[in-house]
Structures are given as structure tokens and as C-alpha cells.
Structure 1
Amino acid sequence: MTDTLSNDDINVWADDPNGPVALCLKQALVPVEGEGGVIFPPTYADIGYNIDTLSDGTRVATIDSVGAQANRIEPIFRQPPYADLVPQIDIVYGNEKTLSIMDAGHRLGDALIRCVEADKATGFDLRKAAQDAFQALLDRNDATEIAKLAPTSLVFGAWDSRDTQAKLPRIVQSVIRAWDVSDLHRSAQYNPPIDYAALDVFSDAEKEKQEGNPKSPLAQRGFVHVPAGKSHGGIVARGPINRDVTVNLVALRRLGGDTAEKLRRYVLGLSLVAAAAPLDPFLRQGCLLVPDTRSPAEWTLVARTGERRPIGLSEEIAYSHAKSAASDFGVGESRSLSFSKARAREDAKKSDKKAKTAAA
């Protein structure tokens, strides 16, 4: 039987040092074309599709990696109603373009954070504030200031690899894999709409020389016939396509600070929202996945003993808890700050200096 959750039930997960170790979601997905439809995984340098072969011969394909899933989920905190749960820090750059720090790949540890100028009106310096927040985590295990600046860095993880070296483990981890897969290939042929050589744009000899070579100048500009040889054509999954989400409650309970209880409940609320929010089904061209209605998603609470208990967690329950916890903790201040070319150049010179020292 699935339990009905209250705020008090959820708070225990954040408060009890001997409480459960994780929440796990297993969600079956299916291509919009139906079972057996061709889907396109991501391609990686040197290997193409990331397909592993297990000892029994089963081939498993990564459809969306942990990092990719985090980058897809995090933007929900820029949209209502979830935007009110976290501070919105936007960085203005270039020709009045704006970027949220939730779009920065390394979050609070991203190089961009070091390249923001101090606010002239308030004196607030994001670079210093981030450095101080990471240092507080290292010195006192106090994550309060990180939660005030960029709480999604606690949810999805961050590494201040170019400065304090502070590391934040992911509390929410999500990945999509397809099982028992076969990969396909495809070929193509580009045909120009007219014969440019016949119109004396170039000679027949030049056409004959460059036609069929995709690296030739005329081929690259689309003036001659170009065949595209055998390339990735997607995969077919004979086994399930599963999305596995884990909320690490042990890592959550290790967060400390002067208001540790409120902090942990707040971060848990954000983590539950991130985990329970509906998946954006459009992963990439040729990969549009939806929940498999024949196999409903299941949330499981995993105890230290290994006991597994089904939990009735929904998007509505997660948001209700997160809203209450955010009110108790106090959401950090939203800000609009400006990119500093001078600070970026200064930081780049530091990197150049380190490289020269290492090479000496």
C-alpha cells in the first residue's frame, strides 16, 4: 500500500540522522512512435553513441546522462510557480543579453561567477560572496550562504574547481538508459538544385574534381553532389527505456549551518520538486519520449536496512512542502548583475600564468 505523505513525514527525512537513505523513482518511457520506435541517443567524441555491452551480451545505451538531465531539470526553477522558491540571479552581458546562473554549466562554481562586477548601488560582489560561501562550507560545513545565493547548486551539485576546490555532491541524480538495444545506420545524398558548372560558375573539370568529396570547397558551399556515407541512424530498444531518479537523503542530512534544520528542509523541498516535476519529453532531434502508461512510475523510500517502501510522492505534494520550507528558511535575494570584461581578462591571465608555470 502506498502511504499518503504529510509535511511532517517529509521533514523526518531531512531531520532524522538514522532516517531513510534515499528516495528512488523508476519511470518507464516509450518513444512517441510507440514501442520499438527508433530513437537517437547523444553522440560523444571518439565513441559515437555510448553503448555498453554487459557480460551476458546485453547492450545498454545512455539516452540522457546525469549531467544532461540536471541541465534539463534545473530551468524549471526559472518558471512559475517554482521561480519563487529560489533567488533569481541574472547576469547582463554583451548587447543587453541576460543569462541566469542556473544556465551556467558549473552553477556557483562556474567561471562566469568570477567575471561579474560588484553592484555599484549595493556593493554586493557575487564573486566574493560565492568564494566566501564555498569557504564556509569547507571550514564549518555551513551551506547556508550557498543556499541563499544558488540553492540549485546544492540540489544538482557543483565544484569550485578553479578556486576553493569545494565540492557539492548531487542530491538529485537522474539518468535515462535503454536496454537490449540495436544500433542502426543511415546514409544520405545531397543534390544541388541546378547544375552550376553548366552555368559557367565553375568548370566541368573543377566540378568533377570536387564532386563527391564532402571536404572540398564547392561541396562545403553546396554547389556539387555530396554523398553522406554510413553514419549513426539511431537505435531500437527491445528492452525497457527507464528513467532512474535518486534523491540522496544521506548527502542532504550532511548539510550544516546555524539554521541547519530549516536549511535541510528547504533543500529537500527543492530536491523533491526537481525529482517529481514532469520530464521535458524532447531530449533532442529524433528522441521524443513520454511516460509508458502501461507501467506507472513508482516512488520508493529506501531504509538503511534495505527495506523498500512505496511512497505516494506527487508534484503537488513536493511543491507544497517546498513552498512551506522556503518560507521558513527565507529565500535569498534576487539580483540583476553585470558581466565584467576586466574581471574576465584578469581571471584568464591567472589561468595563462598557471599554464606557463606548469610547463616550465
Structure 2
Amino acid sequence: MNDKLTLDLVRNAVAGSAAAFRCRQKLQPAGGEGSPVFPATYEGGKYATEERRIPGREAPVPCVVLNSVQSEANHVELALLDAWDDKEIPLPVITVDFAGQGLRRDLRVTSLEAPHRIADALLRDSLLDGIEFRKSVHGSKIDHVDLRNATALFELCPTALVFGLWDSTGPRGGLGAKFARAYVSEVVGIDAVPGKKTASRIDPAEVRLGAGPVYLRADGGWTLDEKEAAKEKGKPVKAGKDGKPSEVNHGNVTPSISDGGFTIAYALRTSTLSLPALRRLRFPIDGQRDPARDRAAQTALAALALCGSTLAQSAGSDLRSRCHLVPVETSRWELLDMPGEEPKSYVLDRAGAIALYREAVEAAKAAGLPWLDEPLELVPSPQLAALVRKSQDLAIATTEAGEG
């Protein structure tokens, strides 16, 4: 069955009683079955391991999270950003450009990259036409959004309605608006068996331990000359504790072995788009609600989620170093509609996803919904620019001192 997902299908699903769109896809390491994969590590260098119930398996199965819900959302947002940068899709985007602020490294942050999206402190502490963003004509609209009044978010940052938002840093603090995720995705390794990892470094210059001690210079860098070293209480300052050449990244590193990585039977990406979460949203204009306008906005948000997910899948699943996964089956979206019935399955490729999304946006605009067609460009406030500048200077200084 190769039915294509169309705007009419999405619109009818949103308008009806369907529960969700769901995509489940098996993947394998790019190195082939049995190749080790390295999940993300969390506090203390730990992996997110757990036992899960798997259909067809009687006992719980050891699993490891390869890509978390938050990370999956970030991958989708970055895929949308790439498509927007390439002018393939229309999308409201807010940018903070640090150009001309004296930074050591150029920086541009968008509402698709900021951790808290439009409610992020980087946007809050930036200026629009010389006015604090949250006090500007656009930013102040966010102060009043909620489930029954989501029009401003649709206009300025629709991704917040898809991937979730908590305006905890705004004027209302912890009482700020909350929007639960409508789109949830996760990649899990099934039948996960812990492995080992090794590390070593051979210095081609064959720098020996006895070539030290190495001292730190007051003006940055290092020296072997005690007379050129920075002084602390009248004594020369060594790199690290003992002035070993390895403290300034020279010399061999003794080969080591430790726990790390997993082999898995396969990886499973499960992505779901909650239609009830979208149906809860209302989009009044001037205090007046229009059910047809609500449906147009909800449909456009569903199309945005489906498009973003498809774009992210087509970009590949090279999640991090030594965790490159490739699909072993075609991606299909299932519509979970009538209880007890077999879900209907649809295909959606990259070109089709973009076309579907574009059509949904045009329909929403035709229904009278506001939409930011051009990027909203902010500049950092003087204090934000100073904070980032000082942080970059500190990062360079600590690295030069052998502490980074």
C-alpha cells in the first residue's frame, strides 16, 4: 500500500476524532548489524538504560536510549532551519545576530536553535528596534498566550506549539504559558548489550615525561624556562599539578580500556503527533473565535510536524560520533483513527512533505491567520553581548592555561 499523505487527509484527521499520526522505523548501525553504537551520556557519564516491554517478547528487554525526546526535537528543528535557510519552506523565524559585538567567534542564534524557543533568555535579553524584545510590539504578544489564545505563537513561533514551550523566564515567571509537546520522537536500541571502549594517543614527536616540567606564562601559553613562568607567591606556576607535558597536550597517553558503547539487535525510532493536543489550541483574532480558522491553524501545525520529521529523517541519523544509524525499512506514517481498526498507512517523502506543508500554510493564511513572512531580526542588549564576550574570552584563557 503506497497511499500518499495529502493535505485533505491531514485536514480530515485533525477535524475528526483520530488520535495520532505515528511513524515507527527500524534502523541499524551504518557499520552493519553488530557494530557498536555509542549513546549520549548523562550526569556521571551514565547511559540511559532500562528494560522495556517489546511486542512479541514475553520478558522485558534491555534497551538504551540512543536519542532522547529533546534531542529528536532539536534534530527536527535544525532540519527545518536548514530548509528555511535554503528557502525551501516558509517559516516564522526570530534571529539574534551578535555580529559587530567584538566576539572571538561569530554567533547567530535563531528561535529554532534556542533551547526555550521564543521564550529563551537569549531572545528575552535582546532588542528589537532598540526595545527589549518582550516589551516590543511583537514580543509583548507572548505575555498573553495560552491554549485558548495561541494566535501570537502561530504568527511568531509555530514550532513552539509543536515541540512545546514553557514561558518560565518571561514577565509571569513560573506562571508563564505552558504548551505540552504535540510531537514526540525517540530512538531506542533494542536488546542492548554493554561493550568496551579504548583510548590512547601516540605522540609522533615522541615527547617524553622527563622533558618537563612545563610552566605557564603570565601572558598565556607555556614555557620550559622557569624565568619566563608566571609567578604565584614568588614561585613559578607549573602546568597542572606537576608540569607534565601532557598538561599542554604533548606526549603519549597510556592506552586505557573502560565500559562504553553497546551492541544492539536494532534501533527503533518512534515518532508520534498527538492530534488531541492540536485540537485543544484556539486561535482567536480580536477576541473572536472562528472554528474554521482554528482548524486551518491546527492543520498547518500538523503539516509542520510531519514536514519537519520527514526532513530530519531524510537528512540522516548521524546522531553523534560512533552513533550513525541507517534505516532498514521505508518510513510510513500510520493514522490511528477508529479504535480496534488496523491503522491506515501512508508514505511521505521529502518533496511531498514540503509541498504538503506549503499548501497548509497558504490555507491558514487564507483563513486570516497572521504569519511572519520575514525573519524578525534582534540584536543583543549591551549586557548580553558583554556576557557572551566575557564567556568567550574566559574559554580561550582557560584553554591557553591548560585548564580547559
TM interval, shorter chain, is: 0.7 to 0.9
Deviations 1:183-207 (A, max 9, x none): 11123334443244665767xxxxx
What is the CA–CA distance in structure 2 between the aligned matches of 1:200 and 1:328, rounded to whole Å? 70
Note closer, same or farther for the CA distance 1:38–1:254 as it changes in structure 2 (3 Å cut). Answer: same
Alignment partners' CA distance in 2, 1:290 and 1:183: 21
Could you tell me which of 144, 147, 157 is aligned with 1:135? 144
Structure 1: distance between partners of 2:162 and 2:340: 24
Q: Which residue does the alignment assign to 2:355?
A: 320
SS of residue in 2 equivalent to 1:46: helix
Q: What's the counterpart of residue 165 of structure 2? A: 158
Q: Give distance in 2, aligned partners of 1:130 and 1:101.
A: 13
* Secondary structure of the corresponding residue to residue 227 of structure 1: strand
Q: Percent identity?
A: 25
1:197, 1:318 → 2: CA distance?
58
Q: In the TM superposition, what is the alpha-carbon distance from 1:249 to its structure 2 partner?
A: 0.7
- 1:50-129 aligned at under 5 Å gives the runs 50-54=48-52, 56=59, 58-80=61-83, 84-93=89-98, 94-95=101-102, 97-120=107-130, 125-126=133-134, 128=136, 129=138
Alpha-carbon distance in 2 for matches of 1:200, 1:97: 38
CA separation in 1, counterparts of 2:60 and 2:243?
Answer: 44
Counterpart-to-counterpart distance in 1, 2:319 and 2:13: 32
Alignment of 1:229-248 (within 5 A): 229-237=256-264, 239-248=265-274
| CA-to-aligned-CA distance 1:318-350 (integer Å, 9 cap, x gap) | 32221112123233142221111347899xxxx
Distance in 2 (alpha carbons) for counterparts of 1:6 and 1:77: 19
Using structure 1 for the length normalisation, give the TM-score: 0.81
Alpha-carbon spacing, 1:159–1:265, altered in 2? closer, same or farther (3 Å): same
Cα distance 1:215–1:241, how it changes in 2: closer, same or farther (>3 A)? farther
Q: 1:241 to 1:92 in 2, by over 3 A?
A: same
| Contact preservation (8 Å) 2:332, 2:348 | no
CA contact (8 A) 2:331 2:347 kept: no
Aligned to 1:144: 151
Indicate if the aligned counterparts of 1:116 and 1:339 stay in contact, CA closer than 8 A: yes
User: What letter is aligned with 1:60?
Assistant: C
Alpha-carbon spacing, 1:328–1:216, altered in 2? closer, same or farther (3 Å): farther
Matching residue's letter, 1:103: E
Look up the equivalent residue of 1:340 and give its one-letter code. Answer: S
Alignment: residue pair count: 326
Aligned to 2:304: 270
| Alpha-carbon distance change, 308 to 229 in structure 1, aligned in 2, over 3 angstroms | same
Aligned to 1:29: 27
Check if 1:340 corresponds to 2:381. yes
Q: Would the alpha carbon gap of residues 224 and 279 (structure 1) be closer, same or farther in structure 2, given more than 3 Å must change?
A: closer
Partner of 2:46: 48
Please provide the CA RMSD for this pair. 2.8
What secondary structure is seen at the aligned counterpart in 1 of 2:146?
Answer: helix
Q: What is the CA-CA distance between 1:173 and the residue it aligns to?
A: 1.1
Q: Is residue 185 of structure 1 aligned with residue 183 of structure 2?
A: no
Q: Secondary structure, in 3 states, of the residue corresponding to 1:49?
A: coil
CA deviations over 1:14-72 (Å, ceiling 9, x no partner): 223xx201011011111111111111111111251111135835210000001001111
The separation in 2 between residues aligned to 1:137 and 1:309, in whole angstroms, is 32
With over 3 angstroms needed to count, the CA separation of the structure-2 counterparts of 1:254 and 1:104, relative to structure 1, is same
Distance 1:4 1:226 in 2: 55
Distance 1:254 1:216 in 2: 63
Cα deviation 1:247-289 (Å, max 9, x = unaligned)? 1111011110123122112211111101222253211011111
Q: Structure 1 residue 143: deviation in Å?
A: 1.0
- Structure 1 position 300, deviation (Å): 1.2
| Deviation digits for residues 47-98 of structure 1 (CA, Å, limit 9, x no counterpart) | 5111113583521000000100111111222234665321232111234632
Q: Is the 8 A contact 1:114 1:343 kept in 2?
A: no
TM-score if structure 2 supplies the norm length? 0.72
Letter in 1 for 2:12: V
User: Match for 1:286 among 301, 312, 322?
Assistant: 322
Residues 109-144 of structure 1 show CA distances to partners (whole Å, capped at 9, x for unaligned) of 211121111315xx7945553453252326xx1111
Shift of 1:99: 1.8
The Cα of 1:246 is off from its aligned counterpart by 0.3
Structure 2 CA distance for partners of 1:304 and 1:166, relative to 1, 3 Å? farther
